[in-house]
Structure 1
Amino acid sequence: MVSESTEVQVRPGVEDDLEALTDLYNHYVRETPITFDTAVFTPEERRPWLLSHLEDERHPLLVATEAISNRILGYATASRFRPKAAYDTSVEVTVYLTPDAGGRGVGTLLYKALFEALTDQDVHRAYAGIAQPNEASDRLHTRFGFRHVGTYREVGRKFGTYWDVAWYEKEL
């Protein structure tokens, strides 16, 4: 599956993406409360995460690249929602973009491709936890039919501040 525009291509992630994806994620670890990870990863530490997505089509990893340079602009994943078997038909979805990719429609392209990839899977619901405030992510999820189902107040502490996480749900 490849989705294209004149500027951006969306494709399945591959093992060669590991370093760039790790660098992209580490930006959010170091600079933002968007992820609650607080220590950066080496590519080798991040490898199990990557391989888990490459080996399981129910939990895809999609990558957006610039069509000409092939530079990674972002990625989207579907992951296990919870480890217990009864949750197997639910996934948690997420999108991460490079700082310069916001507002270009990259997140939209990634989510379109991700939900298309999930169409033939035995997935009933998608969930997204969004650290607040994050208006761009709130808007993206609402645009894709997610509805706000609740907020965990001050559930995580990062950079000496407590952060809320809003939870969104989408029927698939």
Structure 2
Amino acid sequence: MSTERTEVQVRPGVEGDLVSLTGLYNHYVRETAFTFDTEIFTPEERRPWLLSHPVDGPHRLMVAVTPDSQEILGYATSSPYRAKPAYATSVETTVYVSPHAGRRGVGTLLYEALFEALSGEDLHRAYAGIAQPNEASARLHERFGFRYVGTYREVGRKFGRYWDVAWYEKPL
């Protein structure tokens, strides 16, 4: 695993990544209940999302790429937790890894880079909602100091059934 991890670079996401990032996210929209979006996106529809994650500040987008081809292997974000001003020091984090890049430590590298980038920001808590079941995501978040705080039961409907979301929090 360590050999494969060295073949991955993590950097801030840029506009040139938009098509690949959209394709990766659309895989999760089409194939999983890990996101509750139900319709795929065009890159233009995803552009506001990408632009809401600048290279500095509390709302970041980090991408994992292969050094040679710059193929995107995954991404992690910190986004506003809620829109109201009192939530400004809280972020919601998420990570998506390309299906062919799983079990290579990509998620770990992404979260290491994301939390390092956030370390100087005026943030108090990070939250993560994990659609159930998803043991791999729960393990990743727990390794980074997230603690389980509760479950919203049957909060989302996708693929003709209801899904639970387990919520985790981490002090920053």
**TM bin (shorter chain):** over 0.9
55 and 111 in structure 1: CA distance in 2 versus 1, 3 angstrom threshold? closer
| 4+ runs deviating over 6 angstroms | none
Q: Conserved in 2, the CA contact under 8 Å of 1:147 and 1:170? A: yes
Number of matched pairs: 168
Aligned to 1:112: 112
Aligned to 2:40: 40
Shift, 1:67, TM fit? 1.8
CA distance in 2, matches of 1:130, 1:9: 25
Question: What TM-score results when the alignment is normalised by the length of structure 2?
Answer: 0.96
| Aligned sequence identity (%) | 75
Deviations 1:87-110 (A, max 9, x none): 000000000010011110000000
Cα RMSD (Å) of the superposition?
0.9
CA distance in 2, matches of 1:133, 1:113: 26
CA distance in 2, matches of 1:79, 1:123: 12
1:54 equivalenced with 2:58 (yes/no)? no
CA distance in 2, matches of 1:55, 1:82: 20
CA distance in 1, matches of 2:10, 2:113: 7
Shift, 1:57, TM fit? 2.1
Aligned to 1:163: 163
- What aligned pairs does 1:1-172 form with structure 2 within 5 A after superposition? 6-54=6-54, 57-172=57-172
CA distance in 1, matches of 2:23, 2:162: 25
CA distance in 1, matches of 2:74, 2:57: 19
Question: What TM-score results when the alignment is normalised by the length of structure 1?
Answer: 0.96
Question: Which range moves more in the overlay, 53-62 or 32-41?
Answer: 53-62
Deviations 1:97-155 (A, max 9, x none): 10011110000000000000110000000000000000100000000000000000000
Shift, 1:68, TM fit? 2.2
Shift, 1:54, TM fit? 2.1
CA distance in 2, matches of 1:154, 1:107: 26
Gaps of 5+ in 1: none
Shift, 1:70, TM fit? 1.3
